[in-house]
Amino acid sequence: MATLSDEVEMLRKIPLFAAIDPGKLKLLAFASSRKVYKPGQDLFKQGEIGDAAYVIVDGVADVVVEAEAGEIVVANLGQNEFIGEISILCDVPRTATVRAAEELQTLKIKKEHFLGLVTQVPDLGVEVMRELASRLSKTTAELGEARRELSALKTG
């Protein structure tokens, strides 16, 4: 059975939280709760209003996007990944469904606790910004790639 200090260690491995003062991280660990999901069980569904973010402690989760053709798995997430933060940061509905691909152990961090921490620890805010910016640049790069491929298909 994991104790508070184990969970603090777990959180520390996540890049976003790496720079945070151990005291605050301990508070976050205290406030977060462990949730176990069975394979196939959803953590949240696309379109729902988000109320929490999750850290994967063990196991793999699928990120599923619902398209007209049906569900498409767009990514896999593994240990120490942080999921669902966009929805709670920007108050937008969940952009994708996250589903346990195998037995999945997570730490659930409630929206108000996460936001409370961001406002208290400026470093964390910068860290969040950096993470989001890096994702944006990655996504922009991927978008450029996709456009090029699309125009190649059209002309070709």
Partner 1 sequence: MERNLLKYVWKHSRSDQLWMLVVILASMPTYFLSLELPKRIVNEPIQGVGFENPGDTEFFLQVHLPFGETLFGRPIMLFQGFELERIGFLWALSIAFLALVIANGLFKLYINTYKGRMGERILRRLRYELFDRVLRYPLSRFRRTRASEIASMIKDEVEPMGEFIGDAFTQPLFLGGQALVALLFIFLQNVYLGIATIIVISFQAWLIPILRRRLIELGKQRQIAARQFAGRLGEVVEGIQEAHTNDTTNYERAEMTSILGRLFFIRFELFQRKFSVKFINNLLIQFLSFFFYAVGGYLAIRGTLDIGQLLGVIVAYKDLPAPVRGLIDHDQKRLTVEVRYAQIIEQFTGDELQPKQLHAIPEDGVPRIKSGYDVQRLGVEDESGSKLIETATVAIGKTEKVAVIGGFGSGASAFAEVLARVQLATSGRITLDDVPLEEQPEYVIGRRISFLDGSTYFPQGSVFDTLTYVLKNQPNDPDAADAKIDSLTKLERRRSANFDVEYDTDWIDYERAGVTNQEELTEKLREILTDVNMEEDIRALGLRGSLDPEEFPELAAALLEARNIFRDRLVELGFDEFVEPFDPDKYNTQSSVGENLLFGTAVTKGFEPDSLPGNEMIRKILDDNNLHSPLFEMGKEVASTTLELFGDLDPENPFFDQLNYMNPEDLPLYREVLSNIGDKELANVSEKQRVLIMRLSLSYIEEQNKLGLLTDEMQNKIVEARKLLREKLMALPVMPIAFYETETYNSAASIQDNVLLGRVSNTVAEGYERVTASIRDLLDELELTDDVFRMGLTFNIGSGGKRLSETQRQKLHLARALLKCPDILVANQPLNSLGSREQADMIKMVFDRINASSDENKMGIIWAPMQTALAEMFDRILIFEDGELVEDGTAKEIVSESARFKELTG
Residues that bind partner 1 (CB under 8 A): 1-5, 7, 23, 26-27, 29-31, 33-38, 41, 43, 110, 112-113, 116
Q: Residue 35's Cα: distance from chain center in Å? A: 15
- Residue number with CB closer to partner 1 (23 or 70): 23
Answer for the pair 100, 39: CB distance below 8 angstroms, yes or no. yes
Angle at CA 135, nearest 5°, toward 107 and 15?
45
Least separation in angstroms between CB 20 and partner 1: 14
- Residue number with CB closer to partner 1 (38 or 154): 38
Euclidean distance between CA atoms 11 and 153, whole angstroms: 44
SS3 (DSSP) at 101? coil
- Residue number with CB closer to partner 1 (16 or 31): 31
Least separation in angstroms between CB 53 and partner 1: 14
